[in-house]
Structure 1
Amino acid sequence: MKHFWALVVFALILACSTDTTNRNPYLQEVRFRFELNLNLPLYNDLNNIGNPVYVGNSGVGTRGAFVIKSSLNTFYAFEASCPNHSPNECSTMTIDGQNVVCSCDGYTYSLFTGQLLDRPDDGNRYYDLLFYSAAQSGNTVIISN
């Protein structure tokens, strides 16, 4: 019986994945933690549902992050670099209402879902926005990866 359990534990160890590939081949996995104080004028728009804010501070993601309040206590944060290009001179997206647009190819992404809204039907693989964690603690929103 002891050998059986040793074999089971060994099988479980072998079954664990050590795959460290990125969620998106174009974007690096950048570790960061950044706090947004909702009392500051710079982040005041986040007190209202549907008003996105660009956080371009050094050390926040690859090219910064977009943060949006989607309901009373729910925030979403996404990488600001276009998910379908390696970071370059045109890959930092811009806010267009409640969406963001990649200036490299003109693709539009929703800040409520992170999905590519005008996905081409050409058989190629296209990536949605890279999601970051966003949590509210009092008057602070903490975004991290």
Structure 2
Amino acid sequence: MKKYSFFFLLFLVLNSCSEQVARNNNPNLPNYTVLIDLNLNLPEYSSLKFVSNAVLIPGRGVRGVVVFNTGSGYNAFDAACPNQPLSSCSTMTIKGINLLCACDNEEYSLFTGQGKLQYPLKQYRAELNGDVLRVFN
């Protein structure tokens, strides 16, 4: 009976793991380690304290990381076009509450990461601890 209890407990523990991890299986984008701490009191990131504002952090991830305040939390996405192979036009730009891919003029929502094509934006985790926002994968 102890043997069954152990396996049942192990099953519960393995199935209770966080589902916050985004599914990032995209053949167009490599997987790079990302770990960024943003102090929201600094002028360059203070706009993230307000809803619907986005900031691009260049030089991180594949083509930079865009952090967005949704009003109920923060989203962080890679600035690389998810449906294009890496090229000179595959770095997206912020266009209001969307990201715009210059290669195909496709727009992706910063609220959901979704566009109209096959792959959504590559998402990273974002956690707020006081005035420091940590972005990681």
Where do 4+ consecutive residues of structure 1 move more than 3 Å? none
Counterparts of 1:87 and 1:43, CA distance in 2: 27
Count of residue pairs brought into register by the alignment: 119
SS in 1 for 2:48: helix
SS in 2 for 1:24: coil
TM-score normalised by L of structure 1: 0.76
Matched with 1:92 is 91
1:27-66 to 2 correspondences below 5 Å = 27-56=29-58, 58=59, 60-66=60-66
Matched with 1:130 is 122
Residue identity opposite 1:114 in structure 2: G
Displacement of 1:101 in angstroms is 0.3
Counterparts of 1:142 and 1:88, CA distance in 2: 28
Displacement of 1:71 in angstroms is 2.0
Displacement of 1:78 in angstroms is 0.4
TM-score normalised by L of structure 2: 0.80
What percentage of aligned pairs have identical amino acids? 41
Q: Give the gaps of 5 or more residues in structure 2.
A: 8-23
Counterparts of 1:47 and 1:129, CA distance in 2: 22
Counterparts of 1:88 and 1:38, CA distance in 2: 32
